[in-house]
Amino acid sequence: MLQLNDAIGRIGTESAFEVLARAKHLEAQGRSIINLGIGQPDFQTPAHIVESAVRALRDGHHGYTPANGIPALREAVAVDVHRRLGVPADPGRVLIVPGGKMTMFFAVLMFGQPGAEIIYPDPGFPIYASLIAFSGAKGVAVPLYERNGFGFSAEDVLSRITQATRLIILNSPANPTGGVSERGEVDKLVAGLRRHPDVAILSDEIYGQMLYGGRAHVSLLQYPELSERLILLDGWSKTYAMTGWRLGYGIWPATLIEPATRLAINSHSCVNAAAQYAGIAALTGPQQPVADMVAAFAARRRVVVDELNDIPGLSCIEPGGAFYVFPNISGTGLGAKEMEVKLLEEAGVATIAGSSFGRQGEGYLRLSYANSIDNIRAAMGRIRDWLAKRQAA
């Protein structure tokens, strides 16, 4: 019998990938499935970005790059951060990684161990809790509430800090709720963190350019007092519709960039060279495709929220960012997992149970509106008819 490391038994998964596999299986059997499950833009990567990768391959960029990323890309990240967030960034603190997830993995590996505590949002991206468990640290969930628009309360975070707390994970705009942190709460949190100088922060801002209703992104990078303990997670996957390219970056404190780079050398060596050239084109080229995508998401958000609120048994607050809605399903009398399974199998709509994102997500479903307005309307019709039929039975 093979004797696996205990940590492997503790590592979880992301149910969006499991639902995707089930949806594909049903489609292969001839069923019509509308996929509102997976969290990726339904747009193609803009053509000029694709071209730059093709050119890089033709120009012979086939070898390893520096482990932390090609200098021109790290420079482009610093310039982009300055342009968007109004704060100077040091390219020497940028670590290019294969997707946003890798920054998360490295941050949790760096701070998580038995005896340590890591604070994370619930409901939240499921990989946070999974990696914390894998590391042997204790995960301490901060509940996020619908009544607060699923934004965090600084008091709720600060009250969970103990002598053992090593890292706090924040995510805004958030997966799975679309919730956005309010600047006032972030100010309060940062002020409270002065009393806890040994606690690091991982701020996952991968949806930082997907905000609606005139909202501006509040980045933890805008708080210089955190710069020696803030790890910023961002990347190209969502902003530039590049999920399959596997390209992300972290901005690390000066003292952590060296161990983070060693983790890179020990795991992936460097990111695919052509993808890095594509990353330069994305940041330095026209930004209109991003604006167009965000405008399309904003229009879909309107439709999905209105339609959900029109379905008896469901209610949905208007999320501030990302491309998810998190409707409350408690009026249906169904559990989240039961509704996810039945909606897929009986109504042909893929969604994700809120409970897959933490205990606090029970009573909710996550729907991604990264799909066409026609498909969204059709999916809402299927959900409405399916619920009506159940109620009539």
Q: Which member of 35, 165, 171, 209 binds ligand PLP (CB under 6 A)?
A: 171
Q: Which member of 125, 150, 240, 326 binds ligand PLP (CB under 6 A)?
A: 125
Q: Interface mask (CB under 6 A) for ligand PLP, residues 175-194, using x and -?
A: x-------------------
Length of the chain: 393
Count the residues of the shown chain that bind ligand PLP, applying the rule CB under 6 A.
13
Q: Which two tokens stand for residue 119?
A: 């604070």
132-138 contact pairs (CB < 8 A, 24+): 132/108, 133/10, 133/11, 133/12, 134/7, 134/10, 134/11, 134/108, 135/7, 135/108, 135/109, 135/111, 136/7, 136/10, 136/112, 137/108, 137/111, 137/112, 137/113, 137/166, 138/164
Verify binding: residue 208, ligand PLP, rule CB under 6 A. Answer: no
Verify binding: residue 206, ligand PLP, rule CB under 6 A. Answer: yes
- In the bound complex, what is the minimum distance in angstroms from residue 310's beta carbon to ligand PLP? 28
Q: Which member of 15, 35, 39, 223 binds ligand PLP (CB under 6 A)?
A: 39
Verify binding: residue 297, ligand PLP, rule CB under 6 A. Answer: no
Residues 65-104 interacting with ligand PLP (rule: CB under 6 A): 99-101
Verify binding: residue 243, ligand PLP, rule CB under 6 A. Answer: yes
Answer whether 308's CB lies under 8 Å from 380's CB: yes
Residue 18 backbone phi and psi in degrees, to 5: -70, -40
Nearer to ligand PLP, 40 or 315 (CB): 40
Q: Which member of 80, 182, 185, 204 binds ligand PLP (CB under 6 A)?
A: 204
Q: Which member of 41, 179, 235, 321 binds ligand PLP (CB under 6 A)?
A: 235
Query: How far apart (Å, rounded) are the C-alpha atoms in residues 242 and 293?
Result: 13
Query: How far apart (Å, rounded) are the C-alpha atoms in residues 115 and 320?
Result: 36
Q: Return the amino acid letter for 121.
A: P
Q: Is 86 exposed, middle or buried (0-12, 13-18, 19+ CB in 10 A)?
A: exposed
Verify binding: residue 327, ligand PLP, rule CB under 6 A. Answer: no
Verify binding: residue 348, ligand PLP, rule CB under 6 A. Answer: no
Verify binding: residue 326, ligand PLP, rule CB under 6 A. Answer: no
Nearer to ligand PLP, 107 or 206 (CB): 206
User: Which of 203, 127, 177, 132 shows the shortest CA–CA distance to 328?
Assistant: 177
Nearer to ligand PLP, 208 or 363 (CB): 208
User: Which of 286, 319, 328, 327 shows the shortest CA–CA distance to 300?
Assistant: 319
**Sites of contact with ligand PLP (CB under 6 A):** 39, 99-101, 125, 171, 175, 204, 206, 235, 237, 243, 248
